[in-house]
Each structure stands twice: as structure tokens, then as C-alpha cells.
Amino acid sequence: MSDVAAINQLVLKYNDLRQEIKKIIVGQDEVVEQVLLAIFSGGHALLIGVPGLAKTLLVHTVAEALGLNFKRIQFTPDLMPSDILGAEILDENRQFKFIKGPIFSNIILADEINRTPPKTQAALLEAMQERSVTIAGNNYKLDKPYFILATQNPIEQEGTYPLPEAQLDRFMFAINLEYPSFNEEVDIVKTTTVGANPVINALFTAEEIIGYQQLIQKIPVADNVIEYAVTLVGKTRPKSSAAPEIVKKYIDWGAGPRASQNLILSAKTYAALNGKFSPDIEDVQKVAMGILRHRLIKNYKAEAEGLSTEDIIKSLY
């Protein structure tokens, strides 16, 4: 199959996938879009929202519709790295045997990731970056495709451990979940209080998803689009000569080169899922908010004046 035909097929299957997810998830179209962008780009996503917005249900539904194995890890203050990665034990023959932890799956829901101490949070870093884990000197490869979708509650700060910047940077997207509209909430109440149990059909295989990821990586990008993405990221750095006054005044640290890479890769994915064979500047702008919002560190002036990271990013386009 030619690349053009493969992209056309991907568009059709993607539209079917969105409809399948809508059987369970009411509204949240932009959130679903960004989660799927992360997955087809081969990246991870951080879902930020108050309790009750169906973050867990969303991830489980996406995993079912993609035909992938799914594991949920509830992060708690007493969770240890071995509870996630697995551990070596002595079997009946007094031989060491590795028992795999829940991280060995295609899609991992890291629920309330900021509720566990940094030592346990750090256990995810190798898995996120290298798609492997090292236990007692032995390296174990994780199944592909592999995604970590983490959730974080933005309002309860007591007993939480903020994610370090190095780990935040490993997430391709940070996705904000908002309350549903009135009509969406009415639909949610109607569909979830009648005992209905819609069946989600698996529309992809693991091999197909890997194939589409490889196809997206091969999509060509014009130099001016790459230069636009790199310039946009450069504007977020307060010490850069390209930084506008709003960044110099309100931002302590800007985004690094991984943001530029993720902008281009996710713009390719956005273009492909919308039937285009090469991304343009508009595609970069469409994905920029989710890519940049968790990579900018505001200073005390921004906090004092109630200026959001989103406001600053919008001023850079």
C-alpha cells in the first residue's frame, strides 16, 4: 500500500475510532483528540482535571477501542518502585525469578501520579523514555506500542508531590479537562443512569498502530514549518533575544528542544489524521498549547497578577 493510500485509510479508521469512543465518552472532543494525537505520535500524556470528569473511563475506553492491553496503577504515598516495575523473587528451586509489575502493558493509566513520592515517580522515567526497565542489573523491554497516560488532580495539594520538570518534559501533551457544558452533562446523566452497557469494538491491532506511527514519522515537513516551531519554542525562553516582553517579565524557564521535536511530530500526526500529507504552520499552532503548557515555569509576578500559562502561550503565535 502506498503512503497516500495508508494515510487515507488512517483517516477513515480514525473517524470510526472517534465514533466508537463517543459510545461511552460524552463531549470532551478536544481531550479525546489530544490523547489520540499523543498515541499515534508515540508520546505520553498528562491529564489534568478535577475528580469526576471521567479521566479513568476515557483512558480505559481508548485502550479498548485501540485493541490494546491496559493496566491501571493507583499512585499512593506508600507505593514503592517495585510495586510498579516488578521484582525478583526466589522460586521453589531457589532460583531468582522476575515477576513483572503492572508497567508491562501497552497502555498504563498512572492515576493521581502526584500522590506518590519522587522515588516512585522516578521509576517511570526509564520506561517513558527507553521503553524498557532495569531490575537488578537486567534490562527488560516493554511491549510496543507503549503509552503512559497519567492523571493529576489540580486542586488537592495536601499530601501531593509535584512532578519534577525532568519528568514533566517526558510527557508530550499536558491536557486540561474542563467541566462539561449543560447539555453534555444532561446527556451524561441520561446515558449513565439507565443501566446501559455499550460494547466497545477494537478497531486497531498493536501492529497497525506501530505501522501508522512509522508512517507518520516518514511524513515530510517543509523547512519553514520546522523553523516556525523552533522559533515558537525559542520565544518561551526569557533569556533568548527572540523572547517578547511578556515572557521576559513573567516566565522563569521556557521549553527545551524536546518541545520543538514534539511540536513537529504531533503536527505531522494532526495533519495525517486530517487527511493532509504534510503539516503547515496552522497544524503546529493547533497542537502548541498541549505541547507547551507544562514546559513553561511562571514566576511570582505571573502568579500575583493571575496570568495563566495559556495566556502567555497564545500571545506567542
pLDDT, tens digit (0-9, with 9 covering 90-100), for 32-43: 999 999 999 999
Contacts of 229 (CB under 8 A, 6+ apart): 260, 263, 264, 267, 284
Mean pLDDT of the chain, nearest integer: 87
Which class is 3-208 in CATH?
Answer: alpha beta
Pull the grid cell for residue 248: 521576559
From residue 209, give the alpha-carbon distance in Å to each of 22, 28, 133, 290: 20, 23, 22, 22
**DSSP-derived 3-state class of residue 76:** coil
22, pLDDT greater than 90 = no
pLDDT on residue 221: 95
CATH 1.10.8.80 maps onto the chain at 220-314
- Calculate mean pLDDT across residues 281-298: 94
pLDDT on residue 51: 75
Q: What is the pLDDT of residues 140-179, one digit of tens each?
A: 888 889 999 988 877 555 557 777 777 888 899 999 888 8
- Calculate mean pLDDT across residues 308-312: 89
- Burial classification of residue 100, based on how many CB atoms lie within 10 Å of its CB (0-12 exposed, 13-18 middle, 19 or more buried): middle
Q: Which stretches within 149-236 are classed as H helix?
A: 165-168, 182-192, 206-217, 223-234
Q: What is the pLDDT of residues 232-274, one digit of tens each?
A: 999 999 988 888 999 899 899 899 999 999 999 999 999 999 9
pLDDT on residue 1: 66
Whether the CB-CB separation of 15 and 275 falls below 8 Å is answered with no
- Calculate mean pLDDT across residues 180-187: 85
The pTM of the full predicted model, rounded to 2 decimals, is: 0.89
CATH 3.40.50.300 maps onto the chain at 3-208
Q: Rank 81-90, 108-117, 149-158, 262-271 by mean pLDDT and report only the highest.
A: 262-271
Query: Percentages helix, strand, coil for the chain, rounded to the nearest 5?
Result: 50, 15, 40
CA distance 37 to 158: 32
- Among the CATH numbers 3.20.20.70, 3.10.20.30, 1.10.8.80, 3.40.50.720, which is that of 220-314? 1.10.8.80
